[in-house]
Every structure is written in C-alpha cells, then in structure tokens.
Amino acid sequence: MTLTKVDNPTTEARSATTFSLGHAAIGLVVLVLAIAAVTTDAFLTQTNLTNLLKQMVTTGLLAYGMLVVILTGGIDLSVGSVVAFAGILTAGLSSGLPLPVAMLVGIASGVLFGLVNGTLVARFELAPFVVTLAALTTIRGLAFVYSDVPIAPEDESFFWLGSAMLGPIPLTTVIMLAVFLVGGVFLHRTPAGRSIVAIGGNAETVRLAGISVRKHVLLAYTISGFCAGLAGVILASRVGIAQPSVGVAFELDAIAACVIGGASLAGGKGSAAATLGGVLVLALINNLLNLYNVQSFWQQVLKGLIIIAVILVHRASRRRT
Amino acid sequence: MRRTKLLELKAVHKAYAGVEVLHGVDLTGDRGEVIGVVGANGAGKSTLIKILAGAETMTAGELLIDGTQTRPGSPHDAHQHGIRTVYQELTLAPELTVTENLLLGRFPRKRGLIDWRAAHEQTKTLLDDIGFTSINPRQKAGRLSVAKQQMVEIAKALVAKPRVLVLDEPSAVLAGSDLDALFALIRRLQQQDTLVIYISHRLVEVLELATQIVVMKDGAVIATTIPAQTDEDELIRLMAGRRLEQIYPDRRAATDQPALVTKNLARDNEFRDVDLTIHKGEILGLFGLVGSGRTELAHCLFGATRPDHGWIELGGTPHTFKTPQDAIAAGLALVTEDRKGSGIVPDLTVRENVALTTLYATTRGGLVDQKAQRTAVQAMVDRLDIRPAHCATMPVVRLSGGNQQKAVLAKWLLKKPRVLILDEPTRGVDMATRVAIYRMVDELARSGVAVLLISSDLTEVLGATDRVLVMREGRIAGELRSEGATEDQVLAYSIGRAA
C-alpha cells in the first residue's frame, strides 16, 4: 500500500472562511429572489430591475468603504454627510466648471474628509466612533453652509452619469461592481489589504511586525471617504438634484450591509464579496416591500429583524466549525 | 472502612466533532492533597481542566464529588460544587479596582448603597489572609503587573472558599517573593482541607508541592506517582521521552565581535544606565524579577518605545529607532512575552501570521505572491515542526500554545534577523517544544545571530545561554558566565544581596 498525503478536508473548508462568511447572505439573496420572482409579476420587469440595480449603488459604495474601516476595528459614521456634501458641491460647481472637474472635486472632498478622520484616529489616537460622529455633524453643517437650498443643475449632461446604461445594466452599477472587484482584490490580495485585516485582528502584533498601523488606518478612512464622495456625486446625478439634507442615516445601511455579510464590528473579519451580498439583501428587501406596498415604517422594523436573524445564523454557523 | 474521596474522575472521555482527545482519564484526589498534573502540550491537560471547570462537558465518564455523581454543565455549576479554576489567561476587568474585581456581586452595603470603605477593608483582609500583602485593593487591576494580576485571579477564586482549586500554570508569570507567597498559600490551603490541582510545566515546583503527581500523555494518564519516588529526569522521560541533560544544547559559539551595544540607555521610571553588549553568535541571558525593567528594555531596544537617554550601536554605528520598522530594517527581531497580546493575530491563518514580517517583501505586480508565501511558510512549518503539519491554513489560535509560539518564532526567522530578542519565549510552553526552541536558538547563534534571551526561569537562563546579565530595579545589577554559575548567584544579584 502506498501512503499518499491527503489534505485534511476540514482545514480546506476553514481556509475558505471568507467565502463561508458570505454563505448566509448569499443564501438569503437567493431566497428573497425566489420569493420575489414567484410571488409578484412586477419584480421581473425591466423597469423594476433597473431601479433595483440603481438603488443599491449608494449603499454599495458606502458599504465597501465602511467594510475597510470596520476591518481595522473602526467605524465611519460620517459617510451619509459626505454623500450630501460631495453631491451639493459637485452640483454647485457644475455651473462654473466643466462637469468632470466638478465631479472630481466632489469626490476629492470625500477623500479629504476621509484623510481628516483618518488622521484624527490614527495619528491622535482618538476613538473612531467619536471622531466620525463629530465629522457627521460637522460635514452635514458644511453642506448646508455651502447651500441651504437644493441645487438642480440645468445642464442635461449632469444627469448622464446617473442614467447611462451599459447594455441592460446601469453604468453606476458597473462602477459599484468595479469598486467591489478592485476593492476585493485590494483587501484579499495586496499587502496593504492584508495589513488592514491583520490590524483589526491585533494591532500591536502588526505594529511589532514592522508594519505601520497609522498609515494603514489612515488609508482605510481615506478609502471610505473616497467611496462616500463617489456615492454622493453619483446620487446627485441620478436624482438630478443635490440636497444638503440627503443621506441621513445612510451610514447605518452601510454598517448593516457589512454586518449581514458577516463582518465583525470588532475588526479583522469580513470580506468584500460577502458585503456585496449584504448590500443585495438590503436592496432586495426594500424593493420587495415597496412592490408589496408595505408601509415604510414596517420596512424599518423588518430590516432590523432581518439583521438580527442573519447575525444569529452567522453565530450558529461559526459555532459548528 | 472506605471513606469517600472528595473528587473522583472515572474513565473520562472527551471528543470534539468526533475526534477523541481524552481517552478515559482517571483521577482521584482527597482533602488536603495537592495533585500535580504534568504533560506536554496536547497531552489533554487543558481539556481536563475545562471539564472540571464546567467549561466543557465530558462525552463519557463520571465525575464524583464526595461520592455523589455530578456533571457540571457550566462554570456556574462547577462553582456550586465548590470547584474554582484559575486559568492562565487573565480575566480581570482592567478598569475596575482590585476590590471591585474580587467582590463583584457581593459588595457590602450600607443603606442600599455599596459601602466602599468596608469593601476595601474586606479586600485588604482577604489579601492579607492569603499572604498577598503587596496588592493595593484600590488599584485598578489593569495597572497591576501581570504577576500581581495573576495573584488577584487566585484571590478571586478563593473568595468563594472552594473545596477544589484548580490552578493552570499559576507560576508561569510569578517569580521571587510572589512565587514564595503562592507556595505558602497552597500549603495553607492544604491544611484547610482544600484539594489543589496544580498544572505546571515547571517540574521542580510540582516535585516540591505535590502530594501526588499525575503524568498525562496523548489524552491519557500514563503514570501516577509521588515526589519521593520520582525525579525531574524521570518525569521528563515519561512526558516526552527525553533526559534532563538533553534539554539544553552545549553552548560555545560566541565570538568577541559586538553585534549590538547600548550606551547609557535609559527610559524614565523604567530602566537606566544600561550598558550591554551582545556578541555575534552569543546567547546572552537577561534575568530579572517582574518589574525589574527587562521587558521595558527589550521594547526600547526594538524601537517600540524611545529611550530618554543613551543610544544603541549596531556594528559600531549609533542608531535611533523611531519605530519597530527601523529596528527591523536594522536586523532586529523581538518575540514578546505576551503571545496573545502582541505575538499573534488570532483569527488569521498560520500562514498569514508567519508571513506578517515579510508581507510587503513578498509581492508580484503589487499583489501578495501567494505561491512564494505558501512555499516560504510551509518550509518554516516543516523546519520548526509546527503541528499539525497542515496547519498553514488553520487560524493560528487553534494551535496549542507551544505551536503558536513556534509560529511566532517562524515569523521572525523568515526575516533572517541579525539580533534576536526573545522575551520569555518558553512561558507556558511544554517541554518538547522548549527543547525544540532551545535547539533552534542555538542553531541561529551558531550561524552568527546575536540572541538576547530574557527569562525569569533560572534553570533556563543559565542552561541555554553563554552569559547572563541580572537586572534589578531598572539597572544591570550583575553579570555572570553561565557555565559554572549557580541559580543562587543569579537570584542574589536580582534581589540585591550579592556579595
């Protein structure tokens, strides 16, 4: 008899932790999709699906940025306000500047806010919750300071980004998916991404291994700021009007998407693919409840219950392994 | 007449997900006994403790207390039966005072409110009673040294006056008078008819304290003996099949070329006037009691903290390390004393943990070169015999303590350091792994690496090194050649009684 080296199946399964994290979310997506397709005619229409794809873009972009921050063990509460600021700044500037420039400035404002948050957290070692809570109110205020009335650009080209289609798929959805694709590779395959995950697991170990914790934490908040800026510009373009009051509580949906995707708020655990699954779950639930004409208050209740349910499933599946 | 024993375990089996780790363990202990449990990592000691503590339930078997069959299903259950367990890991709430930690849930009250004065007094009496007089009840637990925290843990277990006290490696962080206090306490408990179950890697202690020694190996009790009928040598042979003189490799590889030199190195309130030289190929021991400044010195050498005075020279050139990165770039490596807190990233795989120091160096086109990483890490897993052999894709936290430590060591070996600082590298590590670590360190030194071995284990600090420095109250208090030096000499320097 010859002895062959056989890989232990249980460890093989464990090595795929990032995928198993997403199982619950993906299972839920499939379930909700099936219910949707079977029970209502309105779901599988071109209009509804396009709407669905467009609506998930904002939460999706915010959720990816949030995931990166959450992985370090932090939180970014300011993203909803950044959405409003980036949107209204872009809309305001678009009357005087070429549109692409205005959009880039809008996104850059998000990056800047991210840098400030990151500096306060990484360099001055302030608590992420407090820093970004302060940023939430400060940036919201700045959005109103810039314009306390909505700005509706008249130039048609302003709407292009938010309404363009690539075949059957909205351009903005493609952008979001690209962010998740590139972002997934960043988190799971680059030294910086791995460092960010490791920092959430044990920052001191990482620091003593000769990796700058500060730089990576700063990078995480900057990425979140970038995503929020981008989301703000896209949202303003899709809606066709920029409001200083938009985006209130968006950060909560972003956090919810991460959590549904199995990310741990303590840091160090979570994956881009699973977070995308979380985004889909939230979008589908909203969409379905709208199709069923469920009152929006009940939508909130249901969303909360689903988050709890998903976390319980995660917990149970982790116990088993 | 047969009196019923206080505690009896009969044919205890435990399986996790179908894999049996305890194969029918028997253990009997009576009032006033001290049972020393010894065994290599993976021998099943931890599982046994968890079953006693109610943290795990046995798959089959019996647990009898006073002849009555019980099966603690939770720690609370175990407490009800008078069993208290003190784990290696510290569980105190760091932001609460010693008093709060000890009396949580049973504070003395006055008119419905907590009577703090009485509470602190009660705590003081309690600590004095058990001989831990050096602990201030009003101190926040997190501010105490690891040794003092361990003592508070023990005190906490004793508040409930347990009948069975299980101590898991209690002496791992204790030294000097703290250790004496612990021993005295155990003897007193013995007189008060408490059954103490004492798990330790330090065989000398077990031989000194125990009335009964239980040797475990591969999930079973392979021998039960008494100190009068055995010795360190035999226990080691039973545990790992090795003789005592085979533990430490012969040392003699030191050169006279300085690798790392410090000049008047000092940090306020930590250490001062430190002039030391580590030579290429040398293993320099650094002994000191807890609080002597040895760990602080290690962190400073490594750039984790900055010196207030003095400087470090490497190969004759002065260096200032602003961060660990600078120190690593200069060829330094540090294995910290706190494996859980600063050695591993628990949830990451062994591969990612080991690859951490070389993460940014192992890339292709900006991405982590997974193939190169896999090969390099597996080579380390094989070289250090980290078990299980296919552990690379397992979360590091699932490995035994000894194997985790090997993984930490592997992380630094990948970096090929010129100066290796090891702070308590064998704490809570089983004998077989210790031997492996000593061998590895010896091998490194022979290849020209300068090693600083910090340890509070006297046998180790003399056995595994060429030369020993002794620290006391932040200063280097003495220097000895390891060969021919005695443990008494080292201790004398460390407590300031050297002639």
pLDDT digits (tens, 9 = 90+) for A64-91: 999 999 999 999 999 999 999 999 999 9
Window B:283-302, CB contacts with A under 8 Å: 302
- Chain B residues touching A190 at Cβ < 8 A: 363, 366-368
The pLDDT tens digits for B116-158 are: 999 999 999 999 988 888 899 999 998 888 788 888 999 999 9
- Number of structural domains found in chain B: 2
Label residue A320 by pLDDT band (50, 70, 90): low
Q: Would you call B393 an interface residue with chain A, using a CB distance cutoff of 8 Å? A: yes
The whole-angstrom separation of Cα B226 and Cα B33 is 11
C-alpha triplet A299, A300, A302: angle, nearest 5°: 65
Any A CB within 8 A of B405 CB: no
- Measured between beta carbons, which residues in chain B are less than 8 angstroms from residue A209? 324, 328, 356-357, 359, 411
Cβ-Cβ contacts under 8 Å, B324 against chain A: 207-210
Residue B253 belongs to some domain of the structure: no
Select from B174, B209, B241 the last residue of a domain. B241
Same structural domain, B367 and B468: yes
Whether the Cβ atoms of residue A118 and residue A83 lie closer than 8 Å to each other: no
Buried b (16+ CB within 10 A) or exposed e, B81-102: bbbbbbbbebebeeeebbbbbb
Which pLDDT does position B18 carry in this prediction?
Answer: 66
Chain A residues with CB under 8 Å of B370 CB are 189
Is the minimum CB–CB distance between B71 and chain A shorter than 8 Å? Answer: no
When scoring A8, A202, A214, A265 by the number of chain B Cβ atoms within 10 A, the one with the most, hence best to mutate, is A202
> Is the CB of A185 less than 8 angstroms away from the CB of B367?
yes
> Do B24 and B96 reside in the same domain of the chain?
yes
Question: Chain B partners of A184 at a C-beta cutoff of 8 Å?
Answer: none
Note the pLDDT tens digit of each residue in B91-116.
888 889 999 999 988 888 888 899 99
CB contact under 8 A, A201 and B346: yes
Amino acid letter at A283? Answer: A
Q: Is B94 on the interface with A (CB under 8 A)?
A: no
Average pLDDT taken over every residue of chain A: 88
Specify if B54 maps to a domain: yes
Q: Does B356 contact A198 at a Cβ distance shorter than 8 Å?
A: yes
Q: Please say if the pLDDT value at position A27 is more than 90.
A: no
Q: Are residues B100 and B202 in the same domain?
A: yes
**Chain B contact for A319, CB < 8 A?**
no
Contacts of A189 in chain B (CB under 8 A): 367-368, 370
Mean pLDDT within B225-235: 88
Of B327, B348, B395, the CB nearest to A198: B348
Alpha-carbon dihedral of residues A67, A72, A73, A75, nearest 10 degrees? -50
Residue holding tokens 């600090």?
B461
The residue segments making up the domain with residue B173 are 7-241
Other residues' Cβ atoms within 10 Å of the Cβ of residue B356: 28
| Interface contact B357-A205, CB threshold 8 A | no
Interchain pair B394, A14: CB under 8 A: yes
Residue B247 lies in a domain: no
pLDDT over threshold 80, residue B246: no
In a domain, B1, yes or no: no
Tell me if chain A has a CB within 8 Å of the CB of B337: no
In this complex, the residue of B324, B346, B367 whose CB is nearest that of residue A207 is B324
Does B83 share its domain with B201?
Answer: yes
| B286 vs B457 pLDDT, higher one | B286
Is the pLDDT score of B251 beyond 80?
no
Report helix angle A79-93 to A213-239, nearest 10.
50
Considering the domain architecture, whether residues B425 and B279 belong to the same structural domain is answered as yes
* Nearest-CB residue to A206 (from B302, B347, B356): B356
**3-class state of residue B331 by DSSP:** coil
Query: For residue B364, is it within any domain?
Result: yes
CB contact under 8 A, B368 and A189: yes
A201 neighbourhood in chain B, CB within 8 Å:
345-348
- Tell whether B249 is covered by a domain: no
Contacts of A205 in chain B (CB under 8 A): 341-345, 356
By Cβ distance, the residue of A194, A206, A269 closest to B347 is A269
Q: Are residues B168 and B271 in the same domain?
A: no
Same domain, B324 and B233: no
Which of the residues B295, B348, B394 would you substitute to probe the A interface, choosing the one with the greatest number of A C-beta atoms within 10 Å? Answer: B348
Decide if A210 and B394 are in contact by the 8 Å CB cutoff. no
Domain assignment of residue B252, yes or no? no
Tell me: the pLDDT tens digits for A192-205? 999 999 999 999 99
% of chain B with per-residue pLDDT over 70: 96
Verify that B193 and B300 share a domain, yes or no. Answer: no
Top-confidence residue, B450 or B240: B450
DSSP state of B3: P
Average pLDDT score over residue span A30-35? 77
pLDDT-based confidence at residue A14 (cuts at 50, 70, 90):
very low
Confidence of residue A134 (pLDDT cuts 50, 70, 90): very high
Question: Phi and psi dihedrals of B217, rounded to 5?
Answer: -150, 135
Task: State how far residue A208 is from chain B, nearest Cα, in angstroms.
Answer: 6
Lowest mean pLDDT among A99-108, A144-153, B62-71: B62-71
- Which chain B positions have a beta carbon within 8 Å of A194's beta carbon? 352, 359, 368
Query: What is the pLDDT at residue A319?
Result: 63
Who's near B338: CB < 8 A, 6+ residues apart? B146
Residue of A nearest to B358 (CA): A209
Residue A18 has pLDDT above 70, yes or no: no
**Local structure of B334: helix, strand or coil:** strand
Cα–Cα distance measured from residue A172 to residue A103, given in angstroms and rounded to the nearest whole number: 14
Q: Is residue B55, in this structure, part of any structural domain at all?
A: yes
Inspect the interface and report whether the beta carbons of B348 and A210 lie closer than 8 Å. Answer: no
pLDDT of residue A265: 92
Q: What is the pLDDT of residues A182-191, one digit of tens each?
A: 999 999 999 9
- Min Cα separation B366/chain A (Å): 7
Q: Report pLDDT digits (tens) over B72-84.
A: 888 888 999 999 9
> Which of these, A289, A251, A316, lies nearest to A74 by C-alpha position?
A251
Residue B117 to chain A, least CA–CA distance (Å): 34
Per-residue pLDDT tens over the stretch B459-482: 889 889 999 999 988 999 999 999
Give B232's contacts (C-beta < 8 A, 6+ positions apart): B203, B204, B207, B244
| Minimum-distance CB partner of B346 among A202, A204, A211 | A202
Whether B388 sits inside 8 A of A8 (CB atoms) is: yes
Which CATH number do you get for residue B61? Answer: 3.40.50.300
Whether B214 and B273 map to the same domain: the answer is no
| C-alpha–C-alpha distance, residues B274 and B276, integer Å | 6
Q: What percent of chain A has pLDDT over 90?
A: 69
Alpha carbons within 13 A on the beta-carbon side of B103: 24
Does B289 share its domain with B214?
no
Q: Residues B267, B233: one domain?
A: no
Chain A nearest CA to B100, separation (Å): 26
Kindly state whether residues B334 and B411 are assigned to the same domain.
yes
The reported pLDDT for the residue numbered B484 is 86
Say how many C-beta atoms besides its own lie within 10 A of residue A207's C-beta.
18
